[in-house]
Structure 1
Amino acid sequence: MLDAHSLKIFATVAENLSFTRAAETLFLTQSAVSHQVASLERQLDTQLFERRGRSVELTGPGRVLLDRARKVFAAIDEAAEAVKQASQPGLGRLRIGASPTACQYLVPESLREFRESFPLYSLAITPGDSPIVGERVAEGSIDLGIMIRPDSRDRGGRLQYHDLFEDELGFLVSPLHPWARAGKVDRRTMVDQRMVLYSRGSATYRAVERYFLKMKTPLRDPIELGSMEAIKELVKLGLGISVIAKWVARPELSQRSLIWLPLPGQKVRRRWAIAVATGKSLSLAEQTFVGLCRSAAANLMIDG
């Protein structure tokens, strides 16, 4: 019968792809780690790693076991939390994943009010783009993920969603840009624009990329940044234009230090939601946080 200790050692090697780094992380000798993994392979009668000199790679069975091991660890954590909450009502833990943009504009207000209702809860915030957040929710390392819903169903239907709001993307330009002076986008000059976009691995970048393909205007060497604040500053300096939602630049738009213009052609909308693992029943604390996020989102979208 598999035990959690052996699974933990295996998972640490798998995540580091190194017996040496795993041993350092676990404060064990490398020989002890190697022995445990070898024992596990004998027990399962299969090879979990391909050993190539000093480097290792997961085999197919190894990848399956890592996926299952993560779910086991999540279940153990949930069991421990359930016992704590039963013995000390009001005490608990909430692990939240959110895109950097949501962390900056949506999460703070929700957490402030959540803390007032659940002062004994420990809170952990993990920033990450939507695809990464979705993966972490599915594997159980975070409880709730604030993210952009994918256009297609995730593989295996591992996630379910609590909708928050819908927004629309548009061009963000400097007030001195010709489009700003004209009050509209000139499609003929779209191909000449230097784009400043949010990071390539994000759901937003993918949506923008699809839009430009439909417009038959290829993206040419865009500047990629992981910070909306940095993107806005570059646009203010006239070093490029961007594609973002209005609410992200509300202060700048009200001051007219930046101008937002609708995308010509097909609208590009995003659906924001809180993702949870399929089949998960929300605790009272989690239900409260979802409700607070919906209230914060409603305030965010006013004139946004």
Structure 2
Amino acid sequence: MIFLESNLTLYRIFNSVAGTGNISRSSKELFISQPAVSKAIQTLEENLHMTLFIRSSRGVRLTEEGALLYEYTKSAFDTLKQGELTLFQMQELGIGHLRIGVSTTLCKYILLPYLKDFVKCYPHIKITIECQSTYKTLELLSQNKIDIGLIGKPDNLKGMDFYEVQQIEDIFVSTETYLNNLSLQLSKNTNNKASFDTKSATEILRNSNVMLLDEKNITRLYVEDYFTRNNIKTNQLLEVSSMDLLIEFAKIGLGISCVIKEFVQEELKSKELIELSLNPPLKKRAVGFAYSKEAFLPQSLKHFISFYKERCSS
């Protein structure tokens, strides 16, 4: 390859001389001597086996071949210059791209408040949100297809840095009407008139329409593990794709939904939804940001990590 014989320095000198049309001006522009400039041009011409400049007392003029080569070198060096400028802007202004993986639920209730304030501080950073389950987010992180993920902390975080931002508690909720009707039905079957709050959670869950997230969700696995450890069995199960739907289905009295307590505070306060008392209760879980320990951390990700750590500590 001819290019391998002619290093980038020769093309840089050629590009300068072609642009200025004068060896003396190029010498000053490049901070090298005129003989060095002339020698570089001569070497490049010898490597390419063609004349690139016509010399005269007024300076130099491109040959047809030289003019064609200059079109390419000018484009190449302009591109490099633009690349340097872009890098400088990224460093000075925080320009960059941040790819975040998160479930729909955590995106709505936890991530969005962070992003709202983050984009105010770093408006030049482009943000892409990939919505999927925690397990899919961890898979994309391991493949370096996203930069960071907001996840419920899994049992195994091998190769990942995890920073907790919040604790969440899983609870079962329904309307008071649904629970009272269920209690009346149970009382008819057992000739034992009692309200729902005097019946065991196990009995209520076994006889009600229980609504859970689909099987690919880490919350579903966490709840099923709780059921197994406490010997709780359900006869009627409805799988729902999102936390928002679980909340809405519970509010219309379709059954008992497993939801995150922190996300239904208003409904609990107004008693639109009633929390089912579990004994023992589901243990709280950690939610936080995770990223690969081995991945390269772009400047945009460093900004985001510093941002949420500072926000959590304040």
Give TM class, smaller chain: 0.5 to 0.7
Name the structure 2 match of 1:194. 209
SS of 1:124's equivalent in the other structure is strand
Give the conservation status (yes or no) of the 8 Å contact 2:102–2:149. Answer: yes
The answer as to 2:122 corresponding to 1:118 is yes
Correspondence 1:49-198 to 2 at 5 A? 84-86=86-88, 88-89=90-91, 90-151=94-155, 153-154=156-157, 157-176=158-177, 177-178=179-180, 182=197, 185-198=200-213
Structure number with bigger Rg: 2
Distance in 2 separating the partners of 1:162 and 1:244: 23
Name the structure 2 match of 1:230. 245
Name the structure 2 match of 1:251. 266
Q: Deviation digits for residues 194-239 of structure 1, max 9, x if unmatched?
A: 1111121000000011111112123435211122221112112221
Give the conservation status (yes or no) of the 8 Å contact 2:247–2:259. Answer: no
CA RMSD of aligned residues (A): 3.0
Distance in 1 separating the partners of 2:237 and 2:302: 40
SS of 2:203's equivalent in the other structure is helix
* Residue 260 to residue 86, structure 1, CA distance change in 2 (3 Å): farther
Letter in 1 for 2:127: L
SS of 2:276's equivalent in the other structure is strand
SS of 1:251's equivalent in the other structure is helix
Q: CA deviation at 1:128?
A: 0.7
Name the structure 1 match of 2:44. none
Name the structure 1 match of 2:291. 276
Letter in 1 for 2:148: L
Distance in 1 separating the partners of 2:216 and 2:162: 21
Range that drifts further, 90-99 or 262-271: 262-271
Letter in 2 for 1:212: F
Structure 2: gaps spanning 5 or more residues: 1-82, 184-194
Identity of aligned residues (%): 23
The answer as to 2:211 corresponding to 1:210 is no
Distance in 1 separating the partners of 2:140 and 2:272: 37
Give the conservation status (yes or no) of the 8 Å contact 1:102–1:146. Answer: yes
Give the conservation status (yes or no) of the 8 Å contact 1:183–1:261. Answer: no
* Residue 202 to residue 181, structure 1, CA distance change in 2 (3 Å): same
Range that drifts further, 232-241 or 202-211: 232-241
Letter in 2 for 1:242: S
Q: CA deviation at 1:86?
A: 4.5
Give the conservation status (yes or no) of the 8 Å contact 1:92–1:120. Answer: yes
Q: CA deviation at 1:163?
A: 1.4
* Residue 183 to residue 105, structure 1, CA distance change in 2 (3 Å): farther
* Residue 295 to residue 256, structure 1, CA distance change in 2 (3 Å): farther
Letter in 1 for 2:289: I
Q: TM-score, normalised by structure 2?
A: 0.61
Q: TM-score, normalised by structure 1?
A: 0.63
